[in-house]
Every structure is written in C-alpha cells, then in structure tokens.
C-alpha cells in the first residue's frame, strides 16, 4: 500500500509539473518576441500606468508564475521605463504622454529618476497629461511634471508631507524573556538599527537625524512641485499644511491640479491634444511600445559595439554567499566585478547599489574587488533608493558616486547584536543548559546566557576596530581626513541632498548620468551597456522554480499591504539571524 501511494503521488506531481510547464511555455510563446517590432501609429500617446512594482533592473526573460492564479508576476525595471521615455521623446509618431497613475510601487529616488526623464521628455516640445481618481503622494510627485493634471470629481489626492515610522520590540522581547545585548562603538549615537531592541521610543539622536532626512527630502519634493506648478514654496507648503488635496475642488483651488474631469471628458481632451481623427485616442502601452523601432534612438543595451560598459546590479541586504536578484552575496557580486575587471572588452564599470547594508565581512570582500577594479578601469557608482552602511562601504572607493537627492545614504557605523534567551528558556519554557569546554572562550557565542564582562570587552574591541577600518576606507576613497569622516559618520544617515554637501557623493544624478560619466572617463563614443549578472535562461528558471532550487519569494504572492507586513517580519528575522559585526542602516526606516 505504501508503494502504491508513493507511485500515486509521484504521478500527480509529474502531471502537475507537466501542466505548469505547458502553461508557462504557452505564455512564453504567446508573448511577443524581442525581435518583433510594434508598428506605432501616427498621433500616438505613450500610456504610462506604472501599475507593476518597479525594480532597478529589467529582466528580458524573467518569468515567474503566481501558482494560485497561474498568472505571470510582472515587474518593470527602471532602466526599461527610462529607455521607453527617452525613445518616445525622439519618436515623431508619439505626440505626448498620458500619465494614468494611482500608486506606483517604487522608492522616492526611483520616482525622481522617472520624473527627471519626464521633464526631459517635455524639452522636446511634446506634452504630458496626468489623470487619476486617486493619486498617492508618489503618484502626485510624478504627475506634477505634467503640463496638465486632472482628477475625477470625487477623486482623492494624497499630498500631506512625509513621515517615518519605527517599530520598537523591546516590550515584546521583555514579555517573552529575551534580552538583546548590543555592542557598538561608543560614539555611534546615530546607529539606530539596534534601538528597536533596546528602547521604547526614538533616541534624541535618531529623532534628530530622521527630522533632518525628512525635511531635506521634502524640501526637494516641494521645490520640484513648485517649479513645475508655477507655485512658490510657501504656496506648496501651505497647501500641504491645510490638506488642500482633501477634495478635487480644494486641490483645484490650491492650484495642485488644473481641472476636474470624468474619464470620458479626458478621452476627448487626449484626442484633441494628439490631433488624431480617430474615435478614440491612440494609446500605446509601455510593453507594446518597447518593441517599436525609432530611427534616431540608440538602445545602449542592444546596439552592436565592440567596447562595453558593465552595469553590475547590487540589490538588497549584503551577506556571504552567492546572493540572488533580491540580495547581495559577497561571492556572487565580487565574482561579477572581478570578471568585468578582467574582461578586456569591458572598458568601464558602473555598480548600481540599492542596499541598506548587512554583513561587515561580506561588505569588505566586495570592497576589495571594487578597489582592484578601480586600478584597471573607471569605476562609477550609481546609488538607488538606499545605499547605506554596508551599501556605502562597497561604494566608497569608486572614482565617482552619483545619487538622487532623495537617496538614503551614509550610515557609516557598525554594531553587533547577541540575544540572551535565558529568561525565555528558563522562565517561560523551563529549559536549562549545562556543559563543559576546553578553553575560556569556547562558548563565547552562547545565546543561552548573558555575556561575561571579558566577552563584552572582546566584542567591543572588534566593533571599534571595524568602525575605525570603515572610516579609514571612506577617508581614503573620498580623499578626506578620517576625523572628518567620523564627524559625519557615527552611524548617521543622510539624504542625497546633504550627502553632496558633506562629500559622501560627487554629483546628483541617476543611472543614465553614471553610465555617461563612465563612458567619458573611458574615452568611449560608441559602446554597449552589458547588464550583469547575466540573465538566467527562462527554461532553466522554470526548472529551478519547480524543483525548489530557486529561493521562494512569498512577497510576490501577496497584496501590497500584506507585502509590507511580510517585509517587516522578514527584516526582524534577518536581524535575529545576523552573524558577526553588521553594517546596516537604521532598522525598518519607512519614509512615506
């Protein structure tokens, strides 16, 4: 009977696998090939909804299936979106852009790069119209670049300023009998990643740095909105303080929008602006437009050229190992940098960093490869939404660092955390531990008791040494005095606006500017952009997904609110599983 059930379930698994493979193959076959070109009609309008999660890198062959619905999980790469906007600017058949937005899933720095591309698009003399029945604050920031902004009569608009929320766990840990022992350099007063485990509310230092960050980023948002809307900063901030966005009429009165329309009225406006004589405006989606060809547009990722610029993506927390699309592994990223360094056809390297940091050891392994690469060819860093702590560590020795005004960076500091579960195990579970050892420190990593004073001294010496090494490497890479680095370090995070002033970065700009600088330093006029790591073959990815070789990502199965909760739980789990001294930015910093 046992043999029967084994065979039965094996057959069921085989059938399920065959069905899943068939569905995936059908979807892939049905999807347009990258070699096929979409014919764009005259008087077309590029229709941007930005409804999928926006990640730094576009994957041409990335294919993941939601196993509950058998629908593809779609994500858009920032480089893909920027390319289509740049192409539309040069396309004589595209008359304008329709921003049909609700709540884009992207960080502030990512949205700024898109917004900058939209502003550049208008420099061609073409128009942008925005419309929605609900604008999130991020959506409105993008929409503010438009020539005209419209809302549905009963629509909603979020324009209320920024806030940051930190969740503190000290009370919960106390209830279950867990004590988190924290070791950090004595002057790292801003290194607030450990505060949720030690305090019930923000320290004065953390409150100071978060206020500085929020006001700095908000100042840039307000400045951009004011410039595009022909308003003063006072008018923008007054509109926010009075919540003038609360209804479509109050938003119109405050000049936050240009009109109130139903969608059918907007359709007539788009027809008029595009000049079409069709019954409906000619809208072309981002995906459809991506396969169109425009004579004067050069796609640097597909053009044939002997010389290359490698764009290497380092995304997510930093740890040892290979890493994946959503995490940085020291072995994997160091290998990519090393291979690009040794490849004679690659004339320059751009490292795109979007990371809150992680393991100090893993960060140092990557820093070493960046240092070796810099000796052989230009190395430029492009910072995304976050490049802090370990994310800054791996960036600091580049020839030049670009960041958005709204990038979160800095956090030059370290810490170690060792939980003491004695209260939980003895007081709550009734467990006790006993044992023997050969040497004094054989049990130094024991979490079932508090640290001894001699052990605390050892850990303190380690974090002090690593912090000194961190500030020394930043000083060397940035041509600064180590004391100056320490004065802006101490675990403090900075916005891209302030990071330029204190010399943590060299210029404001996005990935496009970083690539252009790399080409300039390498003396290239014709080149191809090579994205690394190489994409996994889609069939191999399917096999990995089905056989369990690929790391499952529950986030891709969740709704937006559920995903936020999962990220919070996941980050707590990462902290509790930390090994060694850490370089991480303030814990669970959520600006919205």
Mean pLDDT of 30-37: 54
Mean pLDDT of 80-92: 97
Place of tokens 């995903």: 563
pLDDT at position 77, please?
Answer: 94
Strand ranges in 105-257 using DSSP code E only, listed in sequence order: 127-135, 148-157, 164-165, 179-183
Determine how many CB atoms are found less than 10 A away from the CB of residue 88.
28
Identify the weakest region by mean pLDDT among 127-136, 399-408, 545-554: 545-554
d(CA 58, CA 52): 12
HSE on the CB side for 515, CA within 13 Å?
A: 21
What are the tens digits of pLDDT across the range 409-458?
A: 999 999 888 889 888 888 888 888 888 999 999 998 888 899 999 999 99
- Class in CATH terms, 35-160+243-290: alpha beta
Max CA pair span of the chain: 88
| DSSP classification of residue 129 | E
Report whether pLDDT(208) > 70.
yes
Which residue is catalytic, options 228, 355, 389, 404? Answer: 389
Cα separation, 68 vs 177, whole angstroms = 39
| Interval 498-502 mean pLDDT | 97
Residue-level pLDDT at 544? 54
Given a cut of 80, whether residue 515 has pLDDT beyond it is: yes
Buried b (16+ CB within 10 A) or exposed e, 37-46: eeebeebbbb
Please compute the mean of the pLDDT values over residues 575-591 and round it to a whole number.
Answer: 60
Query: Among candidates 592, 590, 588, which has minimal Cα distance to 192?
Result: 588
- The two three-digit tokens of residue 506, written as one number: 């060299």
Name, in order, each residue with C-beta under 8 angstroms of 475's C-beta and a sequence gap of 6 or more. Answer: 481, 482, 484, 485
Q: What are the structure tokens assigned to 205, written together? A: 């230092």
- Measured in residues, the chain has a length of 592
Query: pLDDT category, 509, cuts 50, 70, 90?
Result: very high
With pLDDT > 90 as the criterion, what percentage of the chain qualifies?
Answer: 70
pLDDT confidence of residue 387: 97
In this prediction, residue 583 carries a pLDDT of: 76
Alpha-carbon distance 90 to 101, whole Å? 23
DSSP, collapsed to helix, strand or coil, labels residue 40 as: coil
Question: Which one of 184, 189, 191, 271 is the catalytic residue?
Answer: 191
Q: Is 433 helix (H, G, I), strand (E, B) or coil?
A: coil
Query: Is 389 annotated in the active site?
Result: yes
pLDDT in tens, 284-341: 999 999 999 998 899 999 999 999 999 999 999 999 999 988 899 999 999 999 999 9
pLDDT confidence band for 30 (50 / 70 / 90): very low
**Stretch(es) of the chain classified as CATH 3.90.226.10:** 35-160+243-290, 164-206+298-536+582-592
* pLDDT value of residue 498: 97
Which DSSP string corresponds to 356-425? Answer: -EEEHHHHHHHHHHHHHHHTTS-EEEEEEEEEETHHHHTTTTSSEEEE-TT-EEE----BEEEEE-HIII
- Band (pLDDT 50/70/90 cuts) for residue 228 is very high
CA distances to 190, 191, 567 from 168, in Å = 16, 15, 15
Q: How does the average pLDDT of the chain come out, rounded?
A: 87
pLDDT tens-digit map of 549-565: 545 455 444 444 455 55
Return the structure tokens found at 370: 């960046």
Is pLDDT of 121 > 80? yes
CATH fold of 164-206+298-536+582-592 reads 2-enoyl-CoA Hydratase; Chain A, domain 1 (3.90.226)
- Binning pLDDT at 50, 70 and 90, where does residue 29 land? very low
* Cα 330 to Cα 316: distance, rounded to the nearest angstrom: 12
Torsion-angle region of residue 159: left (phi > 0), alpha (psi -120 to 50) or beta? beta
């Amino acid at each position: 009977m046992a043999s029967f059930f084994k065979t039965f379930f094996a057959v069921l698994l085989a059938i399920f696998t065959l069905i899943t493979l068939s569905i995936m193959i059908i979807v892939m076959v049905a999807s347009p090939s990258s070699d096929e070109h979409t014919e764009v009609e005259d008087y077309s309008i590029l229709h941007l909804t930005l409804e999928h999660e926006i990640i730094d890198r576009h994957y041409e062959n990335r294919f993941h299936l939601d196993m509950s619905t058998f629908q593809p999980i779609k994500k858009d790469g920032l480089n893909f979106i920027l390319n289509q906007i740049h192409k539309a600017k040069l396309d004589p058949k595209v008359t304008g852009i329709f921003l049909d937005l609700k709540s884009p899933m992207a960080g502030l720095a990512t949205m700024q790069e898109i917004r900058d591309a939209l502003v550049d698009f208008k420099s061609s003399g073409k128009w942008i119209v925005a419309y929605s029945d609900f604008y999130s604050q991020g959506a409105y920031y993008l929409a503010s670049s438009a020539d005209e902004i419209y809302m549905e009569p009963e629509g909603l608009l979020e324009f209320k300023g920024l806030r940051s929320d930190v969740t503190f766990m000290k009370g919960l840990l106390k209830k279950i009998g867990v004590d988190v022992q924290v070791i950090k350099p004595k002057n790292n007063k801003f290194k607030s990643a450990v505060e949720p485990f030690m305090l019930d509310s923000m320290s004065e230092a953390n409150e100071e740095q978060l206020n500085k960050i929020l006001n700095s980023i908000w100042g840039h948002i307000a400045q951009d909105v004011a410039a595009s809307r022909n308003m003063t900063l006072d008018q923008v901030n007054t509109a926010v303080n009075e919540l003038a966005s609360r209804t479509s009429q109050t938003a119109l009165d405050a000049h936050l929008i240009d009109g109130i329309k139903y969608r059918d009225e907007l359709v007539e406006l788009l027809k008029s602006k595009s000049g079409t004589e069709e019954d409906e405006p000619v809208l072309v989606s981002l995906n459809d437009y991506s396969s169109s060809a425009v004579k004067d547009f050069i796609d640097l990722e597909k053009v044939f050229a002997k010389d290359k610029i490698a764009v290497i993506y380092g995304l997510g927390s930093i740890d040892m190992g290979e890493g994946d699309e959503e995490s940085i592994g020291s072995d994997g990223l160091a290998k990519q940098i090393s291979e690009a360094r040794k490849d004679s056809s690659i004339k320059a390297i751009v490292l795109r960093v979007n990371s809150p940091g992680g393991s100090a050891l893993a960060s140092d392994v990557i820093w070493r490869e960046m240092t070796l690469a810099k000796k052989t060819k230009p190395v430029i860093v492009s910072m995304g939404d976050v490049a802090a702590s370990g994310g800054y560590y791996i960036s600091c020795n580049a020839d030049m660092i670009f960041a958005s005004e709204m990038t979160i960076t800095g956090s030059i500091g370290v810490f170690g955390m060792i939980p003491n579960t004695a209260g939980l195990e003895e007081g709550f579970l009734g467990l006790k531990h006993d044992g023997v050892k050969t040497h004094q420190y054989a049990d130094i990593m024991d979490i079932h008791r508090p640290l001894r004073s001699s052990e605390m001294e050892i850990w303190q010496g380690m974090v002090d040494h690593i912090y000194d090494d961190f500030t020394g490497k930043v000083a060397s890479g940035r041509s600064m005095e180590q004391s100056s680095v320490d004065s802006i370090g101490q675990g403090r995070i900075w916005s891209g606006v302030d990071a330029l002033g204190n010399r943590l970065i060299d210029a404001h700009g996005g990935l496009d500017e970083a690539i252009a600088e790399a080409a300039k330093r390498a003396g290239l006029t014709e080149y191809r952009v090579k994205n690394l790591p190489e994409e996994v073959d889609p069939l191999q990815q399917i096999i990995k997904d089905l056989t369990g070789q690929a790391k499952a990502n529950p986030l891709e199965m969740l709704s937006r609110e559920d995903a936020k909760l999962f990220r919070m739980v996941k980050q707590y789990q990462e902290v509790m599983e930390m090994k060694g001294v850490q370089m991480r930015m303030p814990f669970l910093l959520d600006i919205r």
